[in-house]
A and B are shown apart, each in its own frame.
Chain A
Amino acid sequence: MENAIAWIFIFPLIGSVLVALAGFVNRKFCYPISVLSMAGSCWAGIETLRQAMSSPSHEVSYILGGWTLDLFPRGVGIEFRADILAALIAMIVLGVGLIVTVYSKIHVEKETPNKESVYYSLMLLQITGLAGICLTGDAFNLYVLIEVAALTGYGLIAIGSNRAAAATFNYLILGTIGASLYLLGVGYLYIKTGTLNMVGIREVIENSKLANSETLQVAFVLIGVGILIKMAFFPFHAWLPNAYCNAPTTTSCLLAPLVTKVMIYVMIRMILSVFGVKFSFESTIWVSWMPWLVVIAIVCAAFLALSQREIKRMLAYLIVAEVGYMVGGVWIYNYYGLIGSIFHIISDACMTLCLFLGAGIILHKCKTTHFDGLRGLFSRMPLTMIGFFIGGFSIIGLPPTCGFFSKWYLITGGMVSQRWEYMVVLMFSTMVMVILFFRLIERIHLAVDESGKNLGKGHGDLGLTKEQTRFDEAPLIMLIPLLVAASIVLLIGVYNQDVVNQIEIFLKAYGLPTGVKYK
């Protein structure tokens, strides 16, 4: 199938229209149509990934509509390019999208009654936008797709409770600022290079020795800051916790694993494919101080996460900390750090998915995600809890979950570049994660409450009522996606070298420092 890339978008686009129409006929159709179109899109994603891996140049290009003019180095026209990185991340986006769509049924019916068609329509568009961000080969189209994802995201959040509206407004302001800065930066790039095609821009920069151009420096700063705002890098994170916590459950399950991760992908894409490694790391001064900002970001986010008493909010701050990991992995500037960052995009998407799905089930069953509602949940929903814990262990970085391997590469990267501050902060946040999750485990397994007073007398007496300990597992349609996500977390860990080998194939072309000391 030569048009696999196009099919990735066609399925959900047509799906979203059909869902909107189905809303007028019978809302029961919305869910199956969404699942089917996501499944189709996933299949196209796998096909694209396969093509990218098997082609000799390790990339697939697709000019939309075949419309192009050969005026400029790479022509104008809408190009979609799937190199291995793009195809991998797009695959993750689509996979997470499919799992969340399957999972969504009960939540959407309950939380947004009578609005299913709108909801699913927005959701499919959101996934289209995110997948598009990964696959586009054009800096301006990237902006358009960022806005597609953002606008549908605002809708998906605001459709929830009343408090969601305020959170959305916050998100909208910051998101728009970020996107505008990005657009402005792209403008500068266009002035200087005369093209919008990503590879075209890089070729111009490298061939015409623009490294010292001030225009380019300004463009870099604008684009960089714009993306940092969009990815909720501390201190630009203020929009994220409220937006994710007040949103309907399915929205947070979809947005939390994907939005920030995709923006980190954009940062890596900008550095590698647009500005070029040499310019980004050596002609700018970001390398010297970005790791320190990362340190501040991770420490602050970790403390904020520690102070939360509600699972979803805690997870939201965890995401902010994880963003710090990945940004740091890029800016410590070496081969291993970048492998770590890219691998962490993939693994973090899977483990946050796992955790948010688990939190969603807890919310569905217990009507609250506050810590005190968790007492003794293990005897009630053992399978859900196992899935949730696998996500938690992965965040902590225990082998053989995928979190261990990404952390391994990030630490190794810090070691190679001798950025000790980054390594220390990774250790620090690892310990914070241990505290966060074992605090949850204490509540779930030992039935401890906030004050520690409500403890049972031991020997099986946990101070719980019969009702609280009766086996009462989540419905299968929610449980299976969670367990699938948990097994993906384990499988990516076990088969990490297959993923890493692909990332290495992608990164080899960029000549990053590896820094081996003793032979």
Chain B
Amino acid sequence: MSTPIIVEDIRPLIALIAPWFGLIGIMLSGEKRANLRETITFVAASVQAAVVLSMLPIILGGSIIEFHIWQIFSYVPMLLRVDGPGLLFGCVASLLWIATTLYSIGYMRGLHEHAQTRFYSFFALSLSATIGVAFSANLLTIYFFYEMLSVSTFPLVTHMQDREARTGGRTYLGYLLFTSLCLLLPALSWCYVWLDGGKMTMDFLADTGKIGHFSQTEQIVLLFLFTYGFAKAGLMPLHSWLPGAMVAPTPVSALLHAVAVVKVGVFCVYRVYADIYGTEVLSKLSGEDWAMIIASATILISSLIALSQDNLKRRLAFSTIGQLGYVVLGAAIATDRGQGGAVLHIAMHACGKITLFFCAGAIFVATGKKYVSQLRGLGRRMPITMGAFMIGSLSVIGLPPLGGFISKWYLALGALDRDAMWVVVVLLISSLLNVFYLLPVAITAFFRTEESEKDQKIKEAPWPCVIPLALTALGCFGLFFWSDALLKLAELTP
């Protein structure tokens, strides 16, 4: 691969700190000026998205944007770099933040939630951290933003401030901090000390494959430490924080636990597999099959668990765990098309799953219902919501003409490139399982009649809730029809 042209530009930093200005504005306006506060959130989100999108032509033109913030250690810079996969992830996160903001207004006001200022403040912080992860240029930078995300989402997860929230919060932080401090940190320090005379920068561009200097055993141990260290990726058996975190309000579950937080996890794993190990080292690694096996097992087991969940949000959470497994699997396949498929899947699944969560939240706002079995006949009362749910389900399942199809297609192609037929089989089985646990929700809603008179009075949720979910549902189509740019960003077309 020819070395890309590197452009110095401040735009990544602007995208990173736009939420901070938003945060200040949100805190200053406070609970009493709610409209102003939400407007500021909108402005911050739009600025961020606009800045991120404005970098698109440069990246599509084959260049890379860099910005140097400060020196973490005398030889490791905190460096922001925008490349294809990073920008794709950044676009997804910042665009969906706008949608989620609109949705939050409907949801939080609809339920008369407390402490909305705190909610919007920490939401902005989390988005800053997410963009930071997307635009990081080396492992230590990514680690910083990763930790920032863990801490800044804690108040969101425990938003309800009751017993359930406390348990969820404990599990959440317990898993995430344990893994990042006890597995990731030693792994990082291991690489930094032993490689390059203690001057390793672990850059994603310049240092790809240098880890190959280690012995095979060390490489495998490091692979495990990294894979499980980024526990936000939700690989089994370190996945239970995700269903636990579903106690959060639905906008949090939607954006953070279907898009930002978990995608940060898999994106970090992708960076390690694709840019620290590199396809060459990774495919020569004798233990590399392990990563694929873990990911496949996660996909299948979590899909099976999802089948048995009656709580809609929990079902979606387990579905998310499975879909995250796809991304890790794609990265672990260690072929260009597999890893490209993994990057695509981050975007495709984000759009599909956020639709599903939005729908779950809209149902809760409109009816107070949380369980799949209660949804009988809801399709007639809330046609837009349930229609969107249907589209989201089909996209997650991976049917054309929806976005989910493309990423699964490339994952399968990547597996074939490696002659790993069993991976294709896993993909097929899990798609089938997706059908089993997602479609019954829509079918119950559309084809069963409601139980009581009361249910007939149900109407759609407030419009700020409905518009975003309709938009993201349409987005699932859009991702299919305008996938050229995405393929380019995922480095699948030359």
Chain A residues packing against B (C-beta within 8 Å): 336, 393, 396-400, 407-408, 411-412, 415-416, 423, 427, 430-431, 434, 438, 441-442, 445-448, 452, 455-462, 494, 496-497, 500-501, 514-519
Contact = CB atoms under 8 A, between A and B. Distances in A.
B197 A519 contact: yes
B224 interface: no
Contacts of B174: 434
Nearest to B188: A408
A514 B198 contact: yes
Contacts of B72: 496-497
B73 A458 contact: no
A159 to B, nearest CB: 40
B485 interface: no
A386 to B, nearest CB: 12
A458 B162 contact: yes
Given A460-B114, A494-B70, A446 B181 contact: no
B144 A518 contact: no
Nearest to B114: A460
Contacts of A399: 143-144, 147-148
Nearest to B75: A497
Contacts of A461: 114
A457 B113 CA distance: 13
Nearest to A447: B161
Contacts of B166: 442, 446, 448, 452, 455
B454 interface: no
Contact of A336 (B143, B193, B196): B193
Nearest to A428: B182
A415 B161 contact: no
**3 shortest A-B CB distances, which residue pairs?**
A460-B114, A458-B162, A458-B160
B178 interface: yes
A501 B74 contact: yes
Given A398-B147, A412-B192, A452 B163 contact: yes
A456 B161 CA distance: 7
Contacts of A441: 154
Contacts, number: 108
A438 B166 CA distance: 11
A480 to B, nearest CB: 20
A423 B225 CA distance: 15
B194 interface: yes
B185 A408 contact: yes
A416 B188 CA distance: 13
B169 A442 contact: yes
Contacts of B177: 396, 431, 434
A60 to B, nearest CB: 25
Contacts of A462: 161
A79 B251 CA distance: 66
Contacts of A497: 71-74
22 contacts: A400-B144, A411-B189, A412-B193, A415-B189, A415-B190, A415-B193, A431-B178, A434-B174, A434-B178, A438-B173, A446-B158, A448-B166, A452-B166, A456-B162, A458-B164, A458-B165, A459-B162, A460-B114, A516-B198, A517-B194, A518-B194, A518-B195
Given A452-B163, A452-B166, A518-B194, A427 B182 contact: yes
B62 interface: no
A494 B144 CA distance: 12
Given A445-B155, A497-B74, A517-B194, A460 B161 contact: yes
A475 B137 CA distance: 44
B151 interface: yes
A400 B151 CA distance: 12
A270 B174 CA distance: 41
B213 interface: yes
B206 interface: no
A500 B74 contact: yes
A452 B163 CA distance: 8
B182 A431 contact: yes
Which of B143, B165, B182, B193: most chain A CB closer than 10 A? B193
Contact of A457 (B73, B155, B162, B186): B162
A36 B155 CA distance: 42
B214 interface: yes
Interface string B222-248: 000000000000000000000000000
Contacts of A452: 163, 166
A427 B181 CA distance: 7
A519 B196 contact: yes
B421 interface: no
A515 B74 CA distance: 19
Contacts of B74: 497, 500-501
A416 B192 CA distance: 11
A243 B151 CA distance: 34
B115 interface: yes
Nearest to B196: A519
Nearest to A446: B161
A452 B167 CA distance: 11
Nearest to B183: A427
